[in-house]
Amino acid sequence: MMNTSPLKSAVIVGAGITSVSLLASKSNRKKLMNFTTKMKNKVVPLKYRNTDLPIEKGGNPHPEDLEDNKMVSEGAQYSVEYYDKKIQD
């Protein structure tokens, strides 16, 4: 078992009880959600936020898009060849 002091255990239990009692009311949960959203918006830079979702083409290339289909087939060949080499070794 872990060697923890009684003070650490008391602090952890106290923090748990406090958080449960604070989040018991709906208004406090809303405040917490708003706060975390604001903090997330401050921390995550704007350039990393992806606003152009959903991706229309992702995983479903058009049959007549030859370059895209070629790229997909080459990728599949690479992984199969890699796997075959590992099995043969």
For residues 5 and 47, state if they share a domain: yes
CA distances from 16 to 10, 19, 22, 50 (A): 10, 5, 10, 34
Residue 38 is assigned to a structural domain of this protein: yes
Q: Which carries the bigger pLDDT value, residue 81 or residue 49?
A: 81
Is the four-CA dihedral 16, 21, 22, 23 of positive or negative sign?
Answer: positive
% of the chain surpassing 90 pLDDT: 9
For residues 69 and 87, state if they share a domain: yes
Query: What's the average model confidence in pLDDT over 47-70?
Result: 68
Q: What is the pTM of this model?
A: 0.36
- Asked if pLDDT for residue 15 goes beyond 80, the answer is yes
Q: What pLDDT band is residue 58 in, cutting at 50, 70 and 90?
A: low
Residue 56 is assigned to a structural domain of this protein: no
| Total number of domains in the chain | 2
- In this prediction, residue 47 carries a pLDDT of 64
CA distances from 61 to 23, 27, 75, 76, 85 (A): 46, 47, 14, 14, 29
Residue 34 is assigned to a structural domain of this protein: yes
- In this prediction, residue 82 carries a pLDDT of 78
Q: Which domain holds residue 72?
A: 61-89
